[in-house]
């Protein structure tokens, strides 16, 4: 068993009967979805799920997990998702995929949000390994980028996979991948980016994760 699978299985121990559980997106979240399906099948665990992406919804459906649409919920019991970076104060960077908006909505709606990752995701500051993904309304991208330039960010629109156009998220936004100075505080950055017109959402998840579980060499620890 690899570390991503191990940490996902550990998080699944927090799932109790009759919970409404949010499903994250990515390879670690996939292991969690598979474990939920096993628990439902083999241990008759009753639960309902809500997905942060079409791909996670399809996976849950293919495994016969009951699923409700995001627009039908006002809160959830538990959300489990991976991350691209995790700092010692449990701030996360997410959004290498296309589903940042739903991921943050579920993280906020959850009574408990457990972030799960292997140790490769641990960093000292947000932005250490990746640019910050910032979803923008397509017609606003130049004006939003100008505001970001003014606060010292460097970067541009994320290209699509074929490199013949721009990446479009599941929400229909463009993504600006922006680098900030190393010493920029994530809490301050969160507030600054939230304040820019045209920004739909961004990848800094500050003050949202309740528990961070990290697997390293076959052992899981809580941060
Ligand atoms: C998607 C995410 C993922 O949770 C993040 O990229 C981690 O993915 P993985 O579990 O495959 O390493 O934020 O938007």
Instruction: Give yes or no: residues 212 and 182 share one domain.
Output: no
Q: What is the secondary structure of 31-47 as a DSSP string?
A: HHHHHHHHHHHHS---E
Ligand 1 pocket test, pick from 5, 7, 29, 130 with the greatest ligand atom count within 8 Å of Cβ, gives: 29
Residues 6+ apart with CB under 8 A from 147: 196, 197, 198
pLDDT at 125 (0 to 100): 94
Instruction: Give yes or no: residues 105 and 179 share one domain.
Output: no
Residue 13 Cα to ligand 1 middle (Å): 20
> Within 13 Å, how many C-alpha atoms sit on residue 206's CB side?
16
Task: Find out whether 77 and 21 touch, Cβ atoms under 8 Å.
Answer: yes
Q: Is residue 222 part of a domain?
A: no
- CATH classification of the domain holding 68: 3.40.50.1360
Domain of residue 151: give its range: 132-200
Closest by Cα among 1, 53, 52, 51 to 31: 1
- CATH classification of the domain holding 136: 3.30.70.260
Instruction: Give yes or no: residues 110 and 28 share one domain.
Output: yes
Residue 19 Cα to ligand 1 middle (Å): 23
Instruction: Give yes or no: residues 213 and 193 share one domain.
Output: no
Q: Which of 85, 103, 135, 201 is labelled catalytic?
A: 103
Is 42 marked active-site?
A: no
Count CB atoms within 10 A of the CB of residue 209.
24
Q: How many domains does the chain have?
A: 2
- CB contact burial 126-151 (16+ within 10 A = b; e otherwise): bbeebbbbbbbbeebbeebbebbeeb
Instruction: Give yes or no: residues 23 and 113 share one domain.
Output: yes
One digit per residue, the tens of pLDDT, for the chain of length 223 reads: 899 999 999 999 999 999 999 999 999 999 999 999 999 999 999 999 999 999 999 999 999 999 999 999 999 999 999 999 999 999 999 988 789 999 999 999 999 999 999 999 999 999 999 999 999 999 999 999 999 999 999 999 999 999 999 999 988 999 999 999 888 899 999 999 999 999 999 999 999 999 999 999 999 999 8
Q: Is residue 170 part of a domain?
A: yes
Residue 53 Cα to ligand 1 middle (Å): 12
Instruction: Give yes or no: residues 103 and 81 share one domain.
Output: yes
Instruction: Give yes or no: residues 114 and 136 share one domain.
Output: no
Q: Is residue 223 part of a domain?
A: no
Ligand 1 pocket test, pick from 8, 24, 32, 79 with the greatest ligand atom count within 8 Å of Cβ, gives: 24
Collapse the DSSP code of 220 into the 3-class scheme (helix H, G, I; strand E, B; otherwise coil) and give the result. strand
Distance CA 127, CA 122 (A): 11
Q: What is the SS3 assignment for 65-82?
A: CCEECHHHCCCEEEEEEC
Instruction: Give yes or no: residues 26 and 99 share one domain.
Output: yes
Task: Find out whether 166 and 157 touch, Cβ atoms under 8 Å.
Answer: yes
Query: Taking CB atoms and a 6 Å cutoff, what residues make up the pocket around ligand 1?
Result: 24-29, 81-84, 94-97, 99, 103
Instruction: Give yes or no: residues 9 and 111 share one domain.
Output: yes
Instruction: Give yes or no: residues 8 and 110 share one domain.
Output: yes
Instruction: Give yes or no: residues 155 and 59 share one domain.
Output: no
Instruction: Give yes or no: residues 212 and 114 share one domain.
Output: yes
């Amino acid at each position: 068993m690899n570390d991503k699978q191990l940490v996902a299985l550990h998080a699944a121990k927090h799932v109790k009967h009759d919970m409404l559980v949010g499903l994250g997106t990515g390879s670690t979240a996939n292991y969690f979805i598979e474990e939920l399906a096993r628990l439902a099948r083999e241990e008759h665990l009753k639960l309902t799920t809500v997905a942060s992406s079409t791909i996670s919804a399809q996976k849950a459906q293919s495994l016969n997990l009951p699923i409700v649409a995001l627009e039908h919920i006002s809160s959830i019991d538990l959300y489990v998702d991976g991350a691209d970076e995790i700092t010692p104060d449990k701030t996360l960077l997410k959004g290498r995929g296309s589903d940042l908006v739903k991921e943050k909505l579920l993280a906020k709606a959850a009574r408990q949000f457990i972030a799960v990752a292997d140790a490769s995701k641990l960093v000292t500051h947000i932005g250490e390994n990746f640019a910050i993904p910032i979803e923008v309304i397509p017609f606003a991208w130049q004006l939003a980028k100008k505001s970001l330039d003014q606060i010292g960010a460097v970067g541009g629109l994320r290209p699509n996979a074929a490199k013949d156009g721009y990446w479009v998220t599941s929400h229909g936004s463009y993504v600006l991948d922006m680098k900030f100075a190393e010493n920029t505080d994530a809490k301050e950055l969160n507030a600054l980016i939230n304040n820019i017109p045209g920004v739909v959402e961004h990848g800094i998840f500050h003050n949202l994760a309740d528990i961070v579980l990290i697997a390293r060499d076959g052992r899981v620890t809580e941060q």
